[in-house]
Structure 1
Amino acid sequence: MNTSATARTAGMDARRFAKGSARDGAARAGLTARGVIYLLVGVLALQIAFGENNQQADRGGALAELAEKPFGAVLLWALGIGLVGMALWRLSEALFGAVGPDGRKAKKRLTSAARFVFYAFVAYSVLSFAAGSGGGGSSDKQSKDVTARAMELPAGQWLVGAAGVGVAVAGVWIGARAVLRKYHDKLKLGEMSPRTRRLVDITGVGGGAARGAVFAAAGAFAVRAAVDYQPDKAKGLDDTLRSFADTPLGPWLLVCVAAGLVLFGLFSFAMARWRRV
């Protein structure tokens, strides 16, 4: 077979995936899997706020919680496969462009590429946990270990500080976009009733604001670790969430943030149903 013809055929198959039902299914499976994780993390954080649970309020804790349910192993594999779908969807956006008038711009493609890397890592950790390889370790230990290794590099202190600023800015950006309801641009609003749209807005605004607050706080802790040159001051998701209970507002701020993460889980389910992909 002609090599150029084979390459053209492969390219056409890839584009069909990027634009067809395979991409649609991968995106919706991924958004559903993301919703499950955020929902479980939010519930665990609520239990911690009320002193009912000492389990990690992060991805590892969510996976451990899921594993204890009936058919837990099957659910873990389904979750991992869904996250693989999310990674493939983001990869297709990086290669062929996303929906919308700006979907083919370099900035959008780079963002999609970064999301592909992130979700590929998350999918790997979930599938490793499902296979019994311990992929659901503590986010706090992982954060401290990565920070310590980064600080050993030339200009490592500056790198950690810059990364922390980037995460904090991303958190503010996520929260602001949620409050401004920028996600409307990605939803099939015409398929929603007015009541459904109001409910989606409650989950989108509340969930996005809480998610942004968690990112901003985690970034601030990374900056503090860099400034003080103390990797132990970097915090993963679990420690970041618990830190909200140490504010003057006490556990009630953690309750609000945890409830927001539950809302973001529900919002992810709504995105899986109505997002334009």
Structure 2
Amino acid sequence: MDAQAWTLRARGRAARGAHSQALAVAARAGFAARGLIYVLVGVIALRIAFGQGGDGGQQADRGGALEELAGRPFGAALLVVLAVALAGMALWRLSEAVFGGAGPKGAEPSKRAAAAGRCVFYVFACYSVLSYAAGERGSGSGSSDRQTHDVTATVLGWPGGQWIVGVAGAGVVAAGLWIAVRAVRLKFREKLRTAAMSSRARRFTDVFGVTGGTARGVVFAVAGVFAVVAAVRHRPGEAKGMDDTLRTFRDLPAGPWLLAAIALGLAAFGVFSWCNARWRRI
């Protein structure tokens, strides 16, 4: 092979390396952003648990987390940084959908489809944060409860809408249980660079991964149950977004302590997301 061919090959490898490094930075920034949102949601839910949120107070969902950030010094700038980080996550998920993800099963069609779905979600999340930063408080960053009611009402009005909502709700229940079971079984270790972690880092990540994943799965599963109930009763108001779902825990016999436990679990998932920002295989 002549010198020119070697030069072109070297340049190609360098370009691919730079591209991979840029995607890694984008993905890690996205995990950090996701972690911040979950920590803030957990903090807001904790306030609600002990009567500081009230029924008309701050929402324990993404919209509430954005409101919390916007109220801080340089809030608009923080929101823009958050949006850029979420865009990085969307870009990484897009690369997984197109080229396949890390690991021996990363190129499977099911993995690519899941990555494509996550890409769409993070594109929407990025747009909603930018809209909120621009002052559009009624955008996609608004109340998850209102959005859930509106979507459920629309779908219930379609032919076969009850079945669609019911199946979707059952799917969310299954997804929530799957998330919780995988967390308890430490399946998240498969996606981490555990060999590069110290024993203390592994223990730290395991604690927050199990606690956070279980709490997140429980919230998903309960929200799915409410969607199924809404389908069976043909009442859109029975469907609940994250905020209403969390407030439901507060109204159970265990009272605020159960919601406090769930809130701490969601905050733990935020910390686990920060661990992913450091140790995820990308």
TM-score if structure 2 supplies the norm length? 0.91
User: Share of identical aligned residues, percent?
Assistant: 59
CA contact (8 A) 1:18 1:93 kept: no
Q: Which residues in structure 2 correspond to 1:1-277 (within 5 Å)?
A: 16=16, 20-53=20-53, 54-134=57-137, 135=139, 136-277=141-282
Cα deviation for residue 133 of structure 1 reads: 1.9
**Aligned CA distance change for structure 1 residues 19 and 174 (closer, same or farther; 3 Å):** farther
Whole-angstrom distance in 1 between the partners of 2:277 and 2:42: 19
Whole-angstrom distance in 1 between the partners of 2:151 and 2:17: 35
Q: Which amino acid aligns with 1:52?
A: Q
Whole-angstrom distance in 1 between the partners of 2:160 and 2:118: 26
Cα deviation for residue 146 of structure 1 reads: 0.4
Q: Secondary structure at the match of 2:142?
A: coil
Whole-angstrom distance in 2 between the partners of 1:153 and 1:124: 28
* Residue-by-residue CA offset, 1:30-59 (whole Å, 9 max, x unaligned): 101100100000000001001122311111
CA contact (8 A) 1:18 1:96 kept: no
Residue 8 of structure 1 is matched in structure 2 by: none
Whole-angstrom distance in 2 between the partners of 1:191 and 1:208: 22
Whole-angstrom distance in 2 between the partners of 1:235 and 1:94: 30
Cα deviation for residue 183 of structure 1 reads: 0.7
Equivalent pairs counted in the alignment come to: 265
Larger mean CA deviation between 186-195 and 141-150 belongs to 186-195
Q: Secondary structure at the match of 1:20?
A: helix
Whole-angstrom distance in 1 between the partners of 2:280 and 2:150: 37
Residue 4 of structure 1 is matched in structure 2 by: none
Q: Which ranges in structure 2 are unaligned for 5 or more consecutive residues?
A: 1-11
Whole-angstrom distance in 2 between the partners of 1:114 and 1:64: 26
CA contact (8 A) 1:151 1:157 kept: yes
Q: Secondary structure at the match of 2:101?
A: coil
Whole-angstrom distance in 1 between the partners of 2:120 and 2:101: 16
Residue 7 of structure 1 is matched in structure 2 by: none
Cα deviation for residue 17 of structure 1 reads: 8.3
C-alpha root-mean-square deviation of aligned residues, in Å?
A: 1.6
Q: Secondary structure at the match of 1:198?
A: helix
Find runs of 4+ consecutive structure 1 residues off by over 2 angstroms: 15-19
Whole-angstrom distance in 2 between the partners of 1:121 and 1:133: 14
Whole-angstrom distance in 2 between the partners of 1:218 and 1:118: 18
Cα deviation for residue 16 of structure 1 reads: 3.6
TM-score if structure 1 supplies the norm length? 0.93
Larger Rg: 2
Q: Which ranges in structure 1 are unaligned for 5 or more consecutive residues?
A: 1-11
Q: Which amino acid aligns with 1:225?
A: A
Whole-angstrom distance in 1 between the partners of 2:214 and 2:266: 9
Whole-angstrom distance in 2 between the partners of 1:117 and 1:153: 24
